[in-house]
Structure 1
């Protein structure tokens, strides 16, 4: 993917550092990732019919569309219109964030899918996107294109950075943050970005995942 760095927060040195850190961390984790991917894939196939992976068009850096990969957590051919309506309600402030901004008791989610979402393991295939240069390990959450269609002008600043598997929002609220507050967290990350902030957020992700903070 060709990126116009004039439309991003990264200078040439920053881009090199971030990319090197991403690939280095993946290589270090590879001995754990390979058997983990295999076990999850087998569990998904045993639990329900359909593909192991789910892919969806999402907005990347500079709002460039790309296909984002995840482990499939819903029944095959699940109706996407349910989530689209929920997202519109969330963005417009109609969802009660005191409970959860995610769909509760969503019957489309498989048994294995519930476990994967609770532990955030469904996000692991996004490492493929990181290797392809479409994402980073740390950055704003990659949003579906239909969410971007609901954006206000000031929201677009979040596209100055690579989307990430984890990030400021993911370790500071996840499923219980109003939409505008989520975007403010993304922009705060972008305005204060450094390689050290990325490392800090990676460390903070560990307890957030272990204790399933805001997961559903």
Structure 2
């Protein structure tokens, strides 16, 4: 393959996976009254993973993970939640000069089928990590030789920017989570399972809390 074409194709893949918010936005705007609310996001990223798979830029995936990193991923899922909440509290105080006293988890489920919900959460978390960690690092680090620490920041920023449809504050919150996912990915010797588990645990915890909130209001 001509080296110029190789670099151009890699760059195009980077650009296409860096800003998939348009596709996600289209799915969100569709009528999903009778379908799980989390499905549009998971389906969008799944489609991107399938498309990128055929480009060959996913690279080799390391599936071997020891119990140490599984425990680490679980612990840092709580850290992600805590830091996102802390950021939200600080931003709210800066804007309104009032400290938040009560925090509620955003309702994202309708408790129709918990098993299906968990599968969708897992698919969404895994696909996002494949896109924003596995593919992004593979192309940027192995092909364009971007500095690893610069890449951690850049990957986190791109990941955060793809949550702009949740609002500007979500971008700052997801940047924090993105940093943690990226660091886990790098320090686990580029094992995508580790940040994917952390991402899944974080979303799973929020899901359980939202279920409790839903149960509270229905009783």
Fold shared by both chains (TM-score > 0.5):
no
Which is richer in helix? 2
- Point out which structure has higher relative CO (alpha carbons under 8 A, 6+ apart): 2
Scaled by the length of structure 1, what TM-score is found? Answer: 0.28
TM-score normalised according to structure 2 size: 0.28
